[in-house]
Amino acid sequence: MKERNLRDFYTKGEPVELTISDIAEKDQCFGRLENGTGVLVRGMLAVGDRVRAAITKVRPTYLETVLNELLAPSPDRVKPECPVFGVCGGCKWMHVSYEAQLRYKQKKVRDALVHIGGFQDIDIMPVLPARNTTHYRNKVEFSCSSKRYLLPEELQKDVLDKPKDFALGFHAPGNFEKVLEIDRCYLAKECMNRVLDTTRAFALEQNLEPYAARQHKGFLRNLMLRYSEEQDELMVNLVTSWHDSRLMVSYGDRLLSTMPGQKMTIINNVTTRKNTVAIGEKEYVIHGEGVIQERLGDLRFRISANSFFQTNTKQAETLYDGIMEMAGLREDDTVYDLYCGTGTITLYLAERCRRAVGLEIVESSLADAAENASCNGITNASFYGVDLKDFHTLLGMLEEFGFPRVIVTDPPRAGMHPKALKTMIRLQPETIVYVSCNPANLARDSKEISASGFRLEEVQPVDMFPHTSHIETLACFRRAV
């Protein structure tokens, strides 16, 4: 019997009404019409919203639409704090109560493991909530542009309150050229917002030329801020196209006079690259040491401008404590930490075992990891630069330390390379703790691990980023006896 093709029944632009039943990817939600037709709706919505939407594409088996009108709000809805919510791409779930966000994220992990991984009756633990739902980020990057993104209400004005040719804030979603002017970010620390305000005022007073990405010209590129919870210290990193020593001294003096009593280090990263990434080729320290220090558990870490560190300090401790609990380390264990980065997880593990070995391919990260081990007086952690795709690159290390009883892997968002996954399985540890920031790829890799003689025993989501769709997940596998 011929399948029903929706193109025979619906046309582009036609309005439809439905109730949102699920959250989908890429700022979309899902619901069904009364006749059962599946509909994707683009817009900031919540489960339970009753909406009117316009069809943008008619697929053979479902409809793509864009929100036109909210007819009846969901019980999950709350009023977002941020005045530019819906325009800025950062806090896409700020219109949803935090309790509902946690439910959505738990379901997101479960759906991935069931529909992609093929797991049945999988028990997903409740999401471990964040201690703070706002002002939790210890790192924020603001961009400067010669093209300011205009808000909808500004498009109707003949005279604008702010210049069109200068903006310091966040890139508009999907637009590398234009920047949305931000007065206050609700995820950043309040001291970061004061630096943002001071920097904008200084730049406008000094007539600093904002960077134009397409033309590759202009002086002021980025403002990158880091914050130490333990030291209450700020790192202010102004990224520019060239170094002007006199100007940087004036900028440093302005910050110090505007924020008396605030401990901070001020640096200037300089880059000539044709991109908008806040990483410099050369660095100048204007004030302070040029680094800040932070503590995770009993460990202290030196953080430079361009080094990696978890962006939610308090939740990083929750995540790492979860790793330790799942790993179940013994004093005589050898544990391998794959994709170890700057060694934060490796050093956490080293405190509870005989030997922790961090594996990473990025040389700068390995140097930071070795420095972090030295700063903490840890001598039973080793770091190796290896390509996990090739098993033979591990042979020298295996000869020195032996096969691991426990492996922790924290791959990038794309997940483990298939060959790296096979390498990990070939090592045949008793326990694998998989740390994932992408439920879909966790499900894909979990399916492969489980098919290779391991049992998925525990899944624990951890909310590192409230008001966003991102979720960190810990999965524990035990080798079948």
Give catalytic residues, as residue numbers. Answer: 437
Measured N-to-C along each axis, helices 98-115 and 439-450 cross at an angle, to the nearest 10 degrees, of 40
- Strand ranges (DSSP E) for 105-243? 139-145, 167-171, 179-181, 220-228, 233-240
Are 66 and 12 within 8 A, CB to CB? no
What are residue 146's phi and psi, to 5 degrees? -85, 0
Tokens of 11: 């046309």
Residue 46 DSSP class? -
Give dist(CA 471, CA 436) in Å, integer: 8
Q: Burial level of 2, CB count in 10 A (0-12/13-18/19+)?
A: exposed
Give the separation between CA 88 and CA 232, rounded to whole angstroms: 28
Residue 477 phi/psi, 5-degree rounding, is -115, 140
Please give the Cα distance from 408 to 476 (Å, whole number). 9
Whether residue 37 contacts residue 63, with contact meaning beta carbons closer than 8 Å, is answered with yes
Q: Residue 238's beta-bridge partner residues?
A: 223, 268
Alpha-carbon distance of 47 to 299, in angstroms, equals 41
Strand partners, 143: 169, 222
Cβ atoms of 284 and 268 within 8 Å: the answer is: yes
Dihedral angle at the C-alpha atoms of 93, 99, 102, 103, nearest 10 degrees? -110
Beta-bridged to residue 141, according to DSSP, are 224
Q: Which pairs with CB-CB distance under 8 Å and at least 24 residues apart come from 261-266? A: 262/191, 262/232, 262/234, 263/231, 263/232, 263/233, 263/234, 264/233, 264/234, 264/235, 264/236, 264/288, 265/233, 265/234, 265/235, 265/236, 265/289, 265/290, 265/291, 265/292, 266/235, 266/236, 266/238
Amino acid at 192: M
Nearest to 92 by CA among 192, 23, 183: 23
Pairing, β 299-303 against β 38-42:
unpaired
Instruction: From residue 440, give the alpha-carbon distance in Å to each of 81, 275, 360, 414.
Output: 30, 29, 23, 9
Environment class of residue 306 by beta-carbon count within 10 Å: exposed (0-12), middle (13-18) or buried (19+)?
middle
